[in-house]
Copies of this chain bind each other. A is one copy, B any other.
Amino acid sequence: MAEKKIGRRTFLRRAAVGAAASSVFGPVYAQTTRRVRWQMATSWPKSLDTIYGATLLLGRRVAELTGGRFTIEVHPAGELVRPLEILPAVQKGTVPIGHTAAYYYTKLHPALAIATALPFGLTARQQNAWLEHGGTELLNKELFEAFGLLALPAGNTALQMGGWFRFPVDRAADFRGLRMRIPGLGGEVLRRIGVKTVTLPGNEILPALEAGDLDATEWVGPYDDEKLGFYKVATYYYYPGWWEPGPTLHLVINRRAYERLPREYREALVSAARDANAWSLAAYDRKNPEALTRLLANGVQLRPFPQDFLKLAFREAENLYAELASEDATYRKIFNDWNKNRTLLFRWFSTNEASYADFAFRLF
Contacts and interface: CB of A to CB of B under 8 A. Distances in A.
A95 interface: yes
A33 to B, nearest CB: 6
Given A133-B283, A256-B12, A271-B65, A242 B356 contact: yes
B30 A67 contact: yes
Contact of A278 (B69, B277, B343): B277
A31 B304 contact: no
Contacts of A123: 353, 356-357
Given A69-B28, A342-B364, A356-B245, A289 B347 contact: yes
Nearest to A280: B132
Interface in A66-113: 66-69, 78-82, 85, 92-96
A211 interface: no
Chain B CB within 10 A, most for which of A9, A31, A314 = A31
A301 to B, nearest CB: 12
Interface in A1-56: 1-9, 11-12, 15-16, 18-19, 22-23, 25-26, 28-38
A193 B225 CA distance: 45
Given A11-B93, A132-B278, A78 B3 contact: yes
Between A66, A130, A360, the greatest number of chain B beta carbons within 10 A of the residue's beta carbon is seen for A360
Nearest to A264: B67
Interface residues of A, number: 123
A271 B292 CA distance: 31
Most buried by B among A3, A33, A239, A263: A3
Task: Choose among A67, A133, A343 the residue with the greatest number of B CB atoms under 10 Å from its CB.
Answer: A67
B361 A264 contact: no
A297 interface: no
A14 to B, nearest CB: 9
Contacts of A302: 351
A228 B12 CA distance: 39
B11 A94 contact: yes
